[in-house]
Chains A and B, each alone.
Chain A
């Protein structure tokens, strides 16, 4: 079973900063990596699929990169509404443990 490890566990940044979230797979997942955002009390929302493609309606501030085992989600010019937990998922199956992003 492929294991996804996200880092850091928590990230505290200020509005206007750039956030860089990492997801590492225990073996290659090619480009079959997606990123989701989840706010308290809400269902997850798909942000990026196939490592670097933004989902419908997702602002250009969100960008994904990587292939094989190492992936990154970048969020430029952070806004307070970006506070959430971010999860990566491989091949429509297993998820990483999540990164909590706090905007202070």
Chain B
């Protein structure tokens, strides 16, 4: 069965960076995209980025462009999301999710369990 398993919770100081991993199984990694979404405490869903392992093409939310980078490692079927220059309002649960196809624009059909990133001095 399709599974996405994310790395554990992180606590970071303002200005630091965080890298969240998303290990996939149960499907052909290279033929589906991976999207990243976050949810601040008590708030709604915010789309962050997307990547296709096939071509390593990426898309980023304008708001975070320049601070976020998504990558993949096809040998381990793992996707990564790195966020730099962390601020307190980056505190959120970060989700990875598989997109239904390898092209940008397809919805997210399988989700990881979420990774809580806390930014605090």
Contacts and interface: CB of A to CB of B under 8 A. Distances in A.
Interface of A: 1, 32, 34, 36, 38, 43-46, 49-50, 55-56, 85, 87, 89, 91-98
A38 B35 CA distance: 17
A92 B104 contact: yes
B95 A93 contact: no
B109 A97 contact: no
A94 B47 contact: yes
Contact of A43 (B99, B100, B113): B113
Contact of A92 (B46, B50, B95, B114): B50
A34 B95 CA distance: 17
Interface of B: 33, 35, 37, 44-47, 50, 59, 61-62, 95, 97, 99-100, 104-109, 111-114
B1 to A, nearest CB: 12
Given A87-B44, A92-B50, A49 B59 contact: no
A91 B111 contact: no
